[in-house]
Copies of this chain bind each other. A is one copy, B any other.
Amino acid sequence: MSKNEFVLQIPYGTRDFLPHEAACKREIEASIADVFVKWGYDEVVTPTIEYLDTLTIGNGREVEPHMFKFFDKNNRTLALRHEMTTPIARVAASRLNEVELPLKLSYITNVYRYEQAQTGRQCEFYQAGVELMGVPNANADAEVIALSIELLRQAGLENFQICLGQVEFINGVMDQVNLSPKQQQQIKQAMVTRDLVGLGEMLDNTELTNNAKDILKRIPLLHGKEDMLKQAYNMVYNEQSKRALDNLTEIYNLLKGYGFEKYVNFDLGVIRDFNYYTGMVFEAYTPGLGFPLCGGGRYDNMLSDFGTACPATGFALGIERIMLALERQGLAVVSTKKDIYVAWQEGKVLDAIVQAKKLRDEGNSVELALWAQTEKTAEEYQVSKGYHKLVYIG
């Protein structure tokens, strides 16, 4: 490989957004920013780089192998942020701790994870999301779910479903059937990866009653609309699981207020990062995309790691995933705006400048020719670059 080919490469899991893609990304981000403002969620921007100790405080050291790490000049370990919830929690605890609750914050930015790259999963990727802090009730959960639905709609998607679960449902069942903490972790892990065969084998090797095994095997299959909740209600006899189902019913009734119930399915097998979430959890899926468009939930314990106990709920949404879904569903995506090409005959450049300025002031996207051209050459260029109109100053 020659030197030139070598320097043209980019690192594993990164990408360039060429003009059409970058215009689409900017349009989606502008649409998201607009919705955040309309819903009263204030944007914050945090550094790309944080101390490793800060970023790993919430979910222990599990995420560390997936982080881009390096040292500062004092040999403290820095890392590129792998998500935005922890930085936002840090800002809330350190800079906004005197603000009256609730605190409704949003972000639109890039995050980094060292993972096997594939379509829709790059090592550097763009996220938008919110964190709603200070409210422990279903109103807050319903608001963030409704907001995620509104963002997907405003971005141009219509065909998507929210899968809504509640980690306290499965936690209640676990306690009810007397599983060891280690068994609980194994079973939850099998549910996260939707490994139903592994889950069944694992359960068959326990001392559980057949009834308990049966309940646990059925949890990943508990998805549907309101009637499924009633079915689940009759399966369990512990208060924790029943409270979880009541919470889901309350959230669902609030989502009806938004007219968004058609987007929502319950799925009690959705537990996401179960060591982190403490209540409702949700993911959004769309046909043709094998991974969620967005995900989130309630995490009431995290902020106490920063010295301020505070209930919280929120979500993150993948910008590239929205772009991919729009593309795969053949939905109209903005192209770069190309209105007018202004070209000129030798000696007419000043007239062309005045004309270009006027057309831009009127709101047009205008490319000004940078050398004299014949009208025919100008026409060819206008067509090849996709400008709707030629203005020729002769």
Which residues of A come within 8 Å of B, CB atoms?
4, 6-12, 14-19, 21-23, 25-26, 30, 33, 37-40, 42-51, 53-54, 57, 68-70, 72-73, 76, 78, 80, 90-91, 93-96, 100, 102, 104-105, 110, 112, 114, 124, 132, 135, 137, 139-140, 143, 253-254, 256-259, 305-307, 336-338, 349-350, 353-354, 357, 360, 363-368, 370-371, 381, 384-385
Residues A124 and B47 in contact, CB atoms below 8 Å apart = yes
Q: How many copies of the chain does the oligomer comprise?
A: 2
CB-nearest residue of chain B to A7: B54
Docked pose: A256 CA to B94 CA in angstroms = 51
Docked-complex contact B353 and A254, CB < 8 angstroms = yes
B40 and A366: CB pair below 8 A? yes
Q: Across the interface, which residues of B come within 8 angstroms of A43, CB to CB?
A: 19, 22-23, 26
Q: Please, how many angstroms separate the alpha-carbon atoms of A76 and B94 in the complex?
A: 37
Shortest Cβ distance from residue A51 to the other chain B in the assembled complex, whole angstroms: 6
User: Given the complex of chains A and B, what is the CA–CA distance between A331 and B253 in angstroms?
Assistant: 47
Residues of B within 8 A of A139 (CB): 349, 370-371
Q: Shortest 5 CB-CB distances between A and B: which pairs?
A: A40-B367, A14-B47, A19-B42, A70-B70, A257-B353
Contact yes or no, A16 B44, CB < 8 A: yes
Majority SS at the chain A contact face: mixed
Nearest chain B CB to A151 CB, angstrom units: 13
Nearest B residue to A69 by beta-carbon distance?
B70
Q: Which residues of B contact A307 (CB under 8 A)?
A: 4, 8
Q: Could you list 21 examples of A-B contacts with CB < 8 Å? A: A4-B306, A7-B51, A7-B53, A7-B57, A10-B90, A11-B49, A11-B76, A17-B45, A18-B44, A22-B45, A40-B366, A47-B124, A49-B80, A100-B384, A140-B370, A143-B370, A254-B350, A257-B350, A257-B354, A258-B353, A258-B357
Q: Verify B6–A38 contact, CB threshold 8 A.
A: no
Q: Collect the chain B residues with CB atoms within 8 Å of residue A114's CB.
A: 73
Is the Cβ of B365 less than 8 Å from the Cβ of A37?
Answer: yes
A364 to B9, CA, bound (A): 46
Instruction: Report which of B70, B90, B132 forms a contact with A7, defined as CB distance below 8 A.
Output: B90
Could you tell me the distance in whole angstroms from the C-beta of A146 to the nearest C-beta in chain B?
8
In the assembled complex, the CB of A135 is this many whole angstroms from the nearest CB of chain B, namely: 5
Measured between beta carbons, the chain B residues less than 8 angstroms from A70 are 68-70
Please, which residues of chain B bring their CB within 8 A of the CB of A102?
A: 370
Residue pair B94, A49 in contact (C-beta under 8 Å): no
Q: A137-B370, A254-B350 are in contact. List 16 more A-B contacts (CB 8 A).
A: A4-B93, A7-B54, A11-B50, A17-B45, A17-B46, A18-B96, A19-B105, A21-B45, A37-B337, A38-B363, A39-B368, A73-B114, A100-B385, A139-B370, A256-B350, A259-B357
Which residues of chain B are within 8 angstroms of A90 by Cβ–Cβ distance? 7-8, 10
Known: A44-B17, A353-B258. A11 touches B78 (CB 8 A): yes
A173 to chain B, nearest CB (A): 29
Check B16–A49 contact: CB distance below 8 A. no
A102 CB to closest chain B CB (Å) equals 6
A338 to B256, CA, bound (A): 26
Taking the nearest CB of chain B, how far is it from the CB of A42, in angstroms? 4
Q: Which residues of B contact A22 (CB under 8 A)?
A: 42-45
* Bound: A360/B151 CA distance, A: 13
**Cβ contact within 8 Å between B46 and A349:** no
